[in-house]
Structure 1
Amino acid sequence: MRNLLFLLLIVTIGFVSCEGRITKNQALVEDIEEFKKTVSVQVDIHKPENYTEHKVDTTLSNGFRVKIKAYTDMDNSVLFTKIKDTINYQTYYRNFKFDILVEKNNKVIYNKSFDKQKANKAFKFNPNLVKGSELYNFDKLAILNAIQVDDDPSYTNTVAIDVVYAIPETDKVSHHKILINDKGKANFIQTENY
């Protein structure tokens, strides 16, 4: 009986002394989580950081002269955010505007400027696309990735310009071709998406 009383006393002391304390590691983890909730640092990144401009002036063997100017739209960008540790990285990918001028026999036959809205319309990037479709969100998130003259000699009465739009930080890309005939009529063709 005495051993039973002694065992009961030890069990009672064990239950009474257990106050629900947490270990040092648990306390540290909780403190870090609380710190992350209260302290945040924001880092703004702009790509490209400064105004950039790229010009192409090409005379093709078929008699066309093509001038393309692509330049940073400093007022229009796409925002991607990423939180790592306690730092909120906000990356602003600037959109680009581009101008296309085509001459045939020293006569201007095509002269157009494109910003994000005009490009959305020309390349059929619209907000009504179903989620999961190839061009979903290209109207909001895609930026100009490349624009260049296609110097394929098979284009005899036409100028071909390749245009690539992509959504940053993803593998979503849309390739287009602008075909401009010798009368200055442009045709926008989607060539590939992935």
Structure 2
Amino acid sequence: MRHLLGLLFLLTIAFTSCEGRKTQRQALSESIEEFKKTVHFETNVYIPETYLEQDVDTLMSNGFRVKIKTYADMSNAVRFSKIKDTINYQTYYRNFKFDISVTKDDKVIYNESFNKKKVNKAFNYNGNLVSGSDLHHFDRLAVLKSIQVNDDPSYTNMVLIDIMYAIPETDRYAIHRMFIDNRGKSNIVQVEVK
């Protein structure tokens, strides 16, 4: 009987001393999860970081002179967010404006300025395109990647300018070619979309 009372006493002590406390490891991991839910850090990155401007002046063998000026639109950017380890990374890709001026025989035959809104209209980037379309979201997310004079010698009476827009952080892009004839009339054709 004495052994039975001793066993009963030990079981009573064992059950009453276990109050369901957490181990230090469990407490630390729950504390970290709670911290992640309540504390948010945000970091903002702008690409390009500051105002950027570039001028290109090209004199072609067919007598045309092409001036292209590109410059960062400091009030218009595309934002991409990514959360990693409680830090919200906000990356802003600035849109670019560009001016194209073409002269022939010292006479300006074409002079236009383009911003994102005008590009959307000229390149048919619009919000009505269905998901899965090649140009879906180009109206909101695409930024100017490159613009350059195409020096194809077979075009003697016109200027060709290749313009590439791309969606940052993806492999999606669209290349358009602008044709400007010797009277200053322009036409834009989609060349490639990926």
TM-score (norm 1): 0.91
Q: Deviations over 1:142-194 (max 9, x none)?
A: 11010000011111111100101011111111111111111111111111111
Alignment of 1:10-159 (within 5 A): 16-159=16-159
Helix, strand or coil for the counterpart of 1:31?
A: helix
The structure-2 alpha-carbon separation of the partners of 1:14 and 1:67, relative to structure 1 and needing over 3 Å to count, comes to same
* Cα distance between partner residues in 2 of 1:163 and 1:107: 24
**Consecutive unaligned residues in structure 2, runs of 5 or more:** none
Identity of aligned residues (%): 63
TM-score (norm 2): 0.91
Helix, strand or coil for the counterpart of 1:118?
A: helix
**Consecutive unaligned residues in structure 1, runs of 5 or more:** none
Alignment-derived partner of residue 161 in structure 1: 161
* Cα distance between partner residues in 2 of 1:8 and 1:154: 103
Q: Deviations over 1:20-76 (max 9, x none)?
A: 333322211111111112222221111111111111111111111101000000111
Helix, strand or coil for the counterpart of 2:103?
A: strand
Structure 1 segments, 4+ long, off by >6 Å, are: 1-12
The structure-2 alpha-carbon separation of the partners of 1:19 and 1:132, relative to structure 1 and needing over 3 Å to count, comes to farther
The structure-2 alpha-carbon separation of the partners of 1:152 and 1:34, relative to structure 1 and needing over 3 Å to count, comes to same
The structure-2 alpha-carbon separation of the partners of 1:104 and 1:15, relative to structure 1 and needing over 3 Å to count, comes to same
Number of residue pairs matched by the alignment:
194
